[in-house]
Amino acid sequence: MATLASSSSLLHSSSSSFNSSSTPSISPVSRISLKFPSSSLSSSLSISPYFVAFSLNSRRVSPKSYSSTSVVQASGAVEKKKVLIVNTNSGGHAVIGFYFAKELLGSGHDVTVLTVGEESSDKMKKTPFTRFSEITGAGGRTVWGNPADVGKILEGEVFDAVLDNNGKDLDSVSPVADWAKSSGVKQFLFISSAGIYKPTDEPPHVEGDAVKADAGHVLVEKYISEIFGSWASFRPQYMIGSGNNKDCEEWFFDRIVRGRPVLIPGSGMQLTNISHVRDLSSMLTLAVQNPAAASGRIFNCVSDRAVTLDGMARLCAKAAGSSVEIVHYDPKAVGVDAKKAFPFRNMHFYAEPRAANEILGWSATTNLPEDLKERYEEYVKIGRDKKEMKFELDDKILESLKVPVAA
């Protein structure tokens, strides 16, 4: 049984913080800490009615009524759900669906993964798709096709929950959402992006902060909030984890193991958030198992700690058992586009998972020093440390800075 500790402290509130470009965000909630015995990992949670519905026009929280004695109740067994994951066939988000499917299957749910495109395409020769046997081996099902044709591909099937981990705009998501609505899907989840937040003078980004009103993800969030009674949106940032096919830590390892400088734009003190994908999947799983709590909510799908860009370089070097030379530069002065020269934003860009902590009782497990050791072991195992590589853009920057280029 869950052990509860409750206080009436709020995240933050301000009656003057209205912003018309905000999307659905968390309402004020009482702070709750949950302590579960190890045997209760399969318990389902339900949030009391005192957790008030979302507000479309709040910034961080809106000053609505709340109870300082909110109650979370745990029942002994999780209701088995039939879940469809519409998964992208490229980019860093593909690994989210992979981990989410495995976690759901491990919790006893029925899972179908619909991946964009054809099973025979070259994209399927990369991870995480080459590891889909881990899904089918655990009892899941994998199918391929155009998400716009989901009704034909899965004709006659009924799902309790659908996650769209593919679309970035209404054109790509609305066919899936409309089909889900018409076929009786009870819960619709969407992988959005923390990149939709407007730059802020008060980092970190928290749920309810102003967003770019014309961003495709924002329009999707608005649409699903209008047609579904039970929905939630998740905004990830950068992620690491086995099976990811978009470089994150690998970018640093590529340079460190070859004795090359790691070139970081700006001061290197910019803060960002890098999460292990297992944390993203565990948050999503809690939402499926606790639809009443997750309903109508925006969740920053991130870990609970920030890291500086210089810090990431040093952590990667430590994981590789090497030293690192960090060179800072001004992209404009050397005439390069920082977006092409460096894998992260050249600015403070990080969010906190306050809604998931408060509402779902979720907690992060990302531990970059340890997780990066595991990632480096895999990096070496696949032979990437011996792969021939060119660093033409790095060399251009180093030449402009008059820093000797390694032979």
In a domain, 64, yes or no: no
In a domain, 122, yes or no: yes
- List the pLDDT tens digit at each of the 407 positions of the chain: 333 333 333 333 333 333 444 444 444 333 333 443 333 333 333 333 323 333 333 444 433 332 332 333 344 577 999 999 999 998 889 999 999 999 999 999 999 999 999 999 999 999 999 999 999 999 999 999 999 999 999 999 999 999 999 999 999 999 999 999 999 999 999 999 999 999 999 999 999 999 999 999 999 999 999 999 999 999 999 999 999 888 899 999 999 999 999 999 999 999 999 999 999 999 999 999 999 999 999 999 999 999 999 999 999 999 999 999 999 999 999 999 999 999 999 999 999 999 999 999 999 999 999 999 999 999 999 999 999 999 999 999 999 999 887 66
Quick: pLDDT tens for 356-405. Answer: 999 999 999 999 999 999 999 999 999 999 999 999 999 999 999 998 87
| In contact, 144 and 85? CB cutoff 8 Å | no
| In contact, 123 and 89? CB cutoff 8 Å | yes
CA distance 177 to 189: 10
Domain holding 337, by residue range, is: 82-401
In a domain, 66, yes or no: no
Predicted pLDDT of residue 90: 87
Domain count across the chain? 1
In a domain, 312, yes or no: yes
In a domain, 49, yes or no: no
User: Domain containing 272 — which CATH number?
Assistant: 3.40.50.720
CA distance 95 to 81: 21
pTM equals 0.82
In a domain, 173, yes or no: yes
Predicted pLDDT of residue 63: 30
Predicted pLDDT of residue 139: 98
In a domain, 296, yes or no: yes
In a domain, 9, yes or no: no
One DSSP character per residue, 250-298 reads HHHHHHHTTTPPEEEETTS--EE-EEEHHHHHHHHHHHHH-HHHHTTEE
